[in-house]
Amino acid sequence: MQGAGLLSLNLLIALACGGDEQPLTTLDRTIGLDDEGSLVKAPGEPYVIRTELAPARAGREGTRRALLAFHHLSDFRIVDEESPLRSEWVESCQTSLFAGAFRPQESLSLQAAAAIVAQANSIDRSPVTGRPVDFAAHTGNEADNAQHNELRWFLDLLDGRLVNPDSGAAAYEGVQEESPADAYPELLEEAQRPFVGQALRYPWYTVVGNRDVLAQGNFSATDAARSIAIGQEKVIRLGTGASEELCSDPSALLSPGSSDKIFGDPETVVRSVSADPERRLVSRKEWIDEHFKTADAPGPVGHGLKQENRDGGMAYYTLEHGPVAVIALDTVNPGGFAAGSIDARQFSWLEQQLIARSSVYVDSAGRAVKTEHADRLIVVVSHHPSDEMNNPFPDPETKEERFRGPQFEELLHRFANVVLHVAGHNLEHRITPKPDPRHRSNGYWEVTTGSPLDYPMQSRLLEIVDNGDGTISIFSTVYDTAAPLNPGDAEDPTPDDGVNERLLASVARQVGMRDPQRNAQAAGLAASDRNAELLLIAPFELAKNQSPAARRREGNPSGRVSSRRQLLGSFLSRW
C-alpha cells in the first residue's frame, strides 16, 4: 500500500484503564490528549456566550421559553470498505481531490455510528430548559460511496434492525488484510460481525449529500463505475503508467475508458474479491425511494421526503414544528464533484418557501414587502455550508446555471425570520455568525457538525429558545459517543448486549485519533465552535403575553430590542 493515510488498524495498542459512568455531554466532561498522545478525561466545557449578532441581556435565564430541540447528526458515511469501487489507491495521486480517501478506522463505520446513536438516545432532553428532543436531522452523506448496501445499512441501523457489515463473501476482503495482526488479530473479523444497534428513538429527517448519490462522492455514475462496483476486481495499488496518466486529471478516474487504463497497466496490483449485486450505485430517485422502506415508528416514513419527492425525483422539502419551520435543501450538483450549489428551480422554490413564512420581507430590488402570511422562525438545513456551495458546473440535463454560496446568503438575508443554517460536509464543528452587510435583517447563525467516523467522533444538540426579552438564544451542545474512553474500559464484551460494538467504536476512536491525515480542526478552532449560546434579535414578537419583569428590564417597557419591524421601518415608510 502507498500513502501516508494507510495506517493499519492492527497498529493500535489497546489501552486499558478503569471506567466510570458515561457523561451525557461535553458540558460534563471532554476527552483530551496527554503528553504521550493518549486519550484522557478532561474537564467539561461550559457554554460560551456569542454576542456577535445580539446582546446578552441580564436575567434572560428566568424568562426563557423553549421552542425547539433537535439532534444534529451528519456524515455518518457508512462505508463498504470491501467494495471494488472503494478506491483507496487514489491516495497515491497526491491530489487534494481525494485527500483522506482512506481512513484506517473505516471498517468500523457502522459501530462508530451505532455508538453516536446510543448517546443521542441518552440525551433525550435539553440540558438548558429540559425540553424533550423533538427530532433528529441528518445533514447528508448517510453512505460513503453511493452504494445500495451502504444506504440500507444506514437506514436499518437507525431502525434498530440487524445489520451485517460484511459484503461479498463471508470474510474480510479489503486492503487491510495485508497488515500484520500484532495487537488485535481478530479485529477485522469482529468488525464484520452482524449486530443490532439501538434504534434512534426520535423522528428523524434526511438531507442528501454528495456521497449519497455520487460515486466516490465526486462523480456521476458511469457504466464503468457501475461495473466496477458489482464486479470482482479490486485495485490495491495503481501502476506507474496509469498513475501518471490518471492522477494528472482526476476527473478521468471514473470516466469511460479509465478501467482499461487502470487494469491495462502491468504494474497495477489487483486482487480478486467476491462480487455482490447489493453494491450497485443508487440514483437520486432511488435514494429517495429507499427512505420509504423504513419502520413506521418513530419514522416518519420518508424521513421528511414526501410523495411529491418520489414523483419528481427532487430531494428538498419543508416541515413545521410549532413556531419553527425547517426547510431542507438538496445542494448536491449532479454534474459531479464534492462541492455543492443549488439548481435554478430549487432556488426559486426556496424563495417562495421563505415568503410563505414571513409577514414582511425585502425583495430582490431592496423593497420591503408585506404579506398575509403568518411568521415562523426559519431553520434551513443542507449538506453543504455556504462556503462549500462553490460548484459552478451547470446542470448536466437542463444546462442551467447553479446558484452558489454568495447568492444563497444574499437570499437568506432578505428574510429576517431566518435564524439558523445547519449543515455538514466539512467534517468540522464550526459556528459562524452571518450578519447582513446591508442591514435588511439582523443576520443568522450557520452551524456545521463533524462526523462520528472522524476523531473526535461527536455530534451535537441544538435548541432554540425565546428569551422573553426581544432576543432568542440558540444553544449548541456537543456530545461524544457512547463508546468507552479506551477499549479496556468495556467489560465482558459480547455480541448480544451491544458492549462488543461499543468496544469496537472505542477502537475506532483510538485509531482515528492516530490517523496521520486527521483533521486537527474537526473539533472546531475554539470552544465557541462547540458548546455555545448564540444570541439573535427576535425577528417578530414570539410571545404576546410577555412577563412584566421582562418588559421592565433595563428600562425597556416594551421588553424588546431592535426588532425586525423596526429594522424595516424605513423601507415600509417608502413603499
The three three-digit cell numbers of residue 266, written as one number? 502491468
How many other β-carbons are positioned within 10 Å of the β-carbon of residue 244? Answer: 12
Task: For residue 165, say if its preceding peptide bond is cis, omega within 30 degrees of 0.
Answer: no
pLDDT at 276 exceeding the cut of 90: yes
Q: CA–CA separation, 177 vs 164, rounded Å?
A: 19
pLDDT the model gives residue 571:
35
- 3-state DSSP: the chain helix, strand, coil percent, rounded to 5? 30, 20, 50
Please indicate whether residue 256 or residue 81 has the higher confidence score (pLDDT).
81
Q: Given pLDDT bands bounded at 50, 70 and 90, which one contains residue 22?
A: low
* pLDDT tens-digit readout, 322-340: 999 999 999 999 999 999 9
Q: 3-class DSSP state for residue 502?
A: helix
Which of 321, 564, 566, 322 is closest to 443 using CA atoms? 564
pLDDT in the model for residue 243 = 75
Query: Cα–Cα–Cα angle for 93, 98, 101, nearest 5°?
Result: 105
Mean pLDDT of the chain: 86
**pTM reported for the whole predicted model:** 0.89
Q: Which of 206, 207, 222, 218 is nearest to 281 (CA)?
A: 222
pLDDT value of residue 260: 74
Does the pLDDT at position 39 exceed 60?
yes
Question: CA 178, CA 79: separation in Å to the nearest integer?
Answer: 19
> What pLDDT is attached to residue 516?
85
Give residue 6's pLDDT.
35
Cell numbers 420581507 label which residue? 361
pLDDT in tens, 376-414: 999 999 999 999 999 999 888 888 889 999 999 999 999
DSSP string, 8-69: -GGG---------PPPSSTTTEEEEE-TTS-EEEEE--PPEEE-SSS---TTGGGS-EEEEE
Give residue-wise pLDDT tens across range 346-371.
Answer: 999 999 999 999 999 999 999 999 99
| pLDDT above 70 for 28 | yes
Coil, helix or strand at residue 321: strand
> Measured between alpha carbons, how far apart are the two ends of the chain, in Å?
67
User: Shortest CA distance to 540 belongs to which of 472, 444, 445, 438?
Assistant: 472
Give the separation between CA 448 and CA 252, rounded to whole angstroms: 31
**Total length of the chain:** 575
**In which band, very low, low, confident or very high, does the pLDDT at 13 lie, cut at 50, 70 and 90?**
very low
C-alpha dist (Å) from residue 518 to 43, 127, 439, 490:
23, 30, 39, 25
Q: Looking at 258-379, list the stretches that DSSP marks H as alpha helix, in order from N- to C-terminal side.
A: 258-264, 284-290, 307-312, 344-355
At residue 562 the predicted structure's pLDDT band, cuts being 50, 70 and 90, is: very low
Place of cell 493515510: 5
**At 489, is the pLDDT very low, low, confident or very high (cuts 50, 70, 90)?**
low
Phi first, then psi: what are they for 2, rounded to 5°?
A: -120, 165
Amino acid at 317: Y
At a CB cut-off of 8 Å and minimum separation 6, what does 267 contact?
Answer: 239, 240, 241, 242
Higher local confidence (pLDDT), 557 or 393:
393
Burial of 95 per CB tally in 10 Å (0-12, 13-18, 19+): middle
pLDDT-derived band at 247 (thresholds 50, 70, 90) equals confident
Query: Where do runs of H (alpha helix) occur along 282-419?
Result: 284-290, 307-312, 344-355, 405-413
- The pLDDT assigned to 564 comes to 42
- Residue 139's alpha-carbon distances to 212, 224, 283, 289, 575, in angstroms, are 11, 29, 18, 18, 39
Q: How confident is the model at residue 250 (pLDDT cuts 50, 70, 90)?
A: low
Taking the C-alpha atoms of residue 488 and residue 16, their distance in angstroms, rounded to an integer, is 4
Residue 15: pLDDT over 70? no
User: What's the farthest any 2 CA atoms get from each other in the chain?
Assistant: 81
Beta strands in 482-560 (DSSP E): 532-537
- pLDDT mean over 549-564: 39
pLDDT tens digits, residue range 516-556?
A: 889 999 999 999 999 999 999 999 999 743 444 433 433 34
Say whether 480 sits in a helix, a strand or coil: strand
Q: What 8-state DSSP symbol labels residue 215?
A: B
Distance CA 226, CA 228 (A): 6
Q: What angle do CA 399, 402, 406 make, to 5 degrees?
A: 160
Query: Which DSSP letter does residue 440 get?
Result: S
Q: Count the helices and strands in the chain (H runs, E runs).
A: 15, 23
Task: State yes or no: pLDDT of 181 exceeds 90.
Answer: no
The answer to whether 204 and 303 have CB atoms below 8 angstroms apart is yes
- Three cell numbers written together for 516: 496521520
Q: Which of 83-92, 427-436, 503-512 has the lowest mean pLDDT?
A: 83-92
What gap in Å lies between CA 85 and CA 184, rounded to an integer?
27
